[in-house]
Structure 1
């Protein structure tokens, strides 16, 4: 047996049996995760002190706690619904706007701006009131939703998605930061899955609602008008019932001008520009774009080279941020891509009712598995085994999903989805609860922003890559069908809904 395997088994055996002190368990898990020696060990006593100081806070209770929770859940629901409701509307969008080569941007640009604005949101939540920054983000999301709803073309629609994504980044980071002020540490492993279960609800209801709206007189535009009443409810509940959390010491000591100077707006813009150049080149959005990839390589270091505020440099030394951030990058990337690509690909051929029936196991498993893993972690105090098992299941299940066709059996549809959703769902929320427990309250906003950054970066990369692969493969396969002259490129395919018009009737089944 190798020394690394022996050390792994020794670390596994060193995990203590059930402990209600979840902060202590999280500290031990952090040591296991990083393989740190005794000199680098995070002392459990330190974590317990942080936990004890948290217990001195007065947390909301009763009806007030319920209304605050409903407000936070409504805010998360809007962010999640804005993600999933578009999946079954993408074929109609591609047809109406006559630009299938831009369909990858409809979802990925939303994730791109969520990702790019996370560092800036983390800084604003450190310097300013979390409550009021969250409320401003909700208002901006309503503005972006209105622009998307009235968009006359793809460019205007993508611009609306950009604003929605920037606002959604603030909502997501803000709600995660507020968790530390709403519930004590011992209950967070159950509370966070409860709040983020809105992602499961949205992944279940979103595609169905999107398909129903798209096929009705309301059209796909109502998918974005729907955001307005939900976000309005979230705004009212938060503004009236949530007490503004106390500002950090750094936030109290700086003037407004000093705070604004320390927010890295330039890095955010450079990050968006770098990814836009890179993916525009890969996606072939515009002709004569050979210089975009070199441009993106020049812009990317610029987004990280600006002098930063060193007041929170201590959190960079915590190894606990590395693995949770990487796990959210990979798992959110492939789970969101699995669902969105499958729904947008199969919806024109299966129809909305059958599509909802075929993919409901994925959604239900993704909804329930975070709660199950949260209950396990609350009981036994450790999240490392769940992360290992969940990651393995997600990888295997995702590979199985790639073999699905419209002729696959019901057992294949259900079985493959349950495997990948069980793996992804059990791990998805762990980082957002494990990281705050290992950090002092002053660093929670910055750390949550870092994890959220990786959480949003995964879908950005995966959705664009998946769309490029799908468009190129689809075009090359169509070119092999008799009756189609020449090679069909992604830019020549105008829409998925009316794809059957490209070929004669006898070949439509083959295209499907």
Structure 2
């Protein structure tokens, strides 16, 4: 691995107004992708009413997740063999097309197709943002701008349900998707005008060579494998029981295909979607694990804290979203401070380790939330957790940008996003099944409510099915059951430290020079050895 204190000679970083406009475009695109994941949550009841298709409700989120998760690693590879600007703009156009289809959908099927197309475009947009910043900002200055991406993502995630509720109530749910069109058009225009990246070494090669580099055999295993896994996680415990033949078959097929994908990567490393020598780097596999753990505990708390607010505090869905703002604001502050200080001292590892420790403390505090917790308690706990999360969440991305040459950053960045997205899908399912199981067990002590009745009543409608004299006991049972979910989040937050300890203390003040395929292979052999 060759390092240099200076930026590569073929990179001319934008300056002044050109730089500002390009960065604003990237922040807008990150905002739109993050917003699209959660803005639908408060609009779903109105959508199902309009389409008279309550049975399709689960597909509205699943369709986006399937294509988004399945194609993240594919786009990571595409950015190494195709023109970066064209690939990003194509992904953004797909995201826009998907949004337009959703907004204009005449029926549920068309809406689901639109969500799938938007998920595909979102996958390419997410990974593309992290590739473009490599060509927009020198490495030593990148952490402070990278920190703002974390802040933008946090803000969009928090206000998404609120914006969705406002559109649905005062205009129409279709504007949850139409909002992407004018903002996306602005991004496409500015990227087209102001983004300049060096030509890829593979751009002048023939179509057959590019197809070989895309590793079609690996993709045949990867894409259906991820789809089967996501379907099993979305359906297990909801549509079907975990011991249902469909779920078992999906899991068996998923793991078989994903193992086959790994074997193909080892068999043909020179064409691998995820070259083994990249994943073998300490900072990459360590960062992958950190991102997986962050995705797990972040998802559990963002998903189940609103449940606590609605059930225990008696908040409306809108108020429960607003009450998460303390966490979001702390996350924004943590992201910005860690980014600025990383650029100053040159190392992201101190903030990664500190952030993991602080977020673990915050996650632990949620496990002692009582049914009569004060406003100061749940705000304070969120501030601790949010600040720690913000301080550590961007470090895995920075690690990929620091230890990999520019022509391989897209693969490392896609791995980080893939880990976080996949763990989010896994732990929503884990948390929901844990909550249902724990709640049924605790309620059985004083009520005859069955797990089936809990499921049909919904998480926040359960009190209506239980006699009023047992409401206090029910709230206590609910609170204790949510504590188990929060303990799972605490465990995952603590386990993130294992990945951090495996990572290198690399300096952002030294940029890795782009390497040829031959030197990549040599580096891979040394890394594995």
Band of TM-score, shorter chain: 0.7 to 0.9
| SS of match in other structure, 1:52 | coil
**Could you state the TM-score of these two structures normalised by the residue count of structure 2?**
0.76
CA distance in 2, matches of 1:473, 1:419: 27
CA pair 97-323 structure 1, distance change in 2 beyond 3 A: same
User: Contact 1:54/1:184 (CA < 8 Å) preserved in 2?
Assistant: no
CA distance in 2, matches of 1:346, 1:153: 34
Q: Which has the higher contact order (CA 8 A, sep 6+)?
A: 1
Count of residues in correspondence between the two structures: 459
Aligned pairs for 1:367-406 (under 5 A) are 367-404=332-369
Shift of residue 471 of structure 1?
Answer: 4.1
Aligned pairs for 1:429-508 (under 5 A) are 429-473=394-438, 486-489=450-453, 492-493=456-457, 502-503=465-466
1:380-430 deviation digits (Å, cap 9, x = unpaired) = 222222222211222232233245466421122111111211121101111
1:258-282 deviation digits (Å, cap 9, x = unpaired) = 2134324313322323313532563
User: Contact 2:148/2:336 (CA < 8 Å) preserved in 1?
Assistant: yes
| SS of match in other structure, 1:174 | helix
User: Contact 2:354/2:388 (CA < 8 Å) preserved in 1?
Assistant: yes
**Structure 1 unmatched ranges of 5 or more:** 1-41
Shift of residue 486 of structure 1?
Answer: 4.9
User: Of 236, 256, 267, which aligns to 2:207?
Assistant: 256
Q: Are 1:74 and 2:28 counterparts?
A: yes
Q: Which residue of 2 aligns with 1:206?
A: 160
CA pair 498-144 structure 1, distance change in 2 beyond 3 A: farther
User: Contact 1:397/1:420 (CA < 8 Å) preserved in 2?
Assistant: yes
Shift of residue 223 of structure 1?
Answer: 2.2
Q: Which residue of 1 aligns with 2:260?
A: 302
1:430-489 deviation digits (Å, cap 9, x = unpaired) = 12123212222222222222222223222121222223333444566677775x665525
Shift of residue 325 of structure 1?
Answer: 1.6
CA pair 407-155 structure 1, distance change in 2 beyond 3 A: farther
Aligned pairs for 1:268-417 (under 5 A) are 268-279=222-233, 282-286=236-240, 288-289=245-246, 290-306=248-264, 308-310=268-270, 314-343=277-306, 346-347=309-310, 349-352=314-317, 354-404=319-369, 407-417=372-382
Shift of residue 285 of structure 1?
Answer: 2.0
Q: Are 1:225 and 2:178 counterparts?
A: yes
Q: Which residue of 1 aligns with 2:384?
A: 419
User: Contact 1:144/1:160 (CA < 8 Å) preserved in 2?
Assistant: yes
CA distance in 2, matches of 1:499, 1:99: 21
Deviates more, 1:297-306 or 1:502-511: 502-511
CA pair 414-487 structure 1, distance change in 2 beyond 3 A: closer
**Could you state the TM-score of these two structures normalised by the residue count of structure 1?**
0.79
1:480-508 deviation digits (Å, cap 9, x = unpaired) = 775x6655256534x56766654567767
Q: Which residue of 1 aligns with 2:14?
A: 60
Aligned pairs for 1:6-45 (under 5 A) are none
CA distance in 2, matches of 1:492, 1:503: 13
CA distance in 2, matches of 1:465, 1:219: 33
CA distance in 2, matches of 1:219, 1:473: 38
Q: Which residue of 1 aligns with 2:190?
A: 237
User: Contact 1:472/1:490 (CA < 8 Å) preserved in 2?
Assistant: no
Shift of residue 174 of structure 1?
Answer: 0.4
Q: Which residue of 2 aligns with 1:7?
A: none
CA pair 280-377 structure 1, distance change in 2 beyond 3 A: closer
1:10-63 deviation digits (Å, cap 9, x = unpaired) = xxxxxxxxxxxxxxxxxxxxxxxxxxxxxxxx7xxx32x2x4243663211111
1:127-151 deviation digits (Å, cap 9, x = unpaired) = 1111111111112112333444466
User: Contact 2:454/2:462 (CA < 8 Å) preserved in 1?
Assistant: no
CA distance in 2, matches of 1:342, 1:151: 32
**Structure 2 unmatched ranges of 5 or more:** 476-529
User: Contact 1:77/1:202 (CA < 8 Å) preserved in 2?
Assistant: yes
CA pair 227-296 structure 1, distance change in 2 beyond 3 A: same
CA distance in 2, matches of 1:220, 1:347: 23
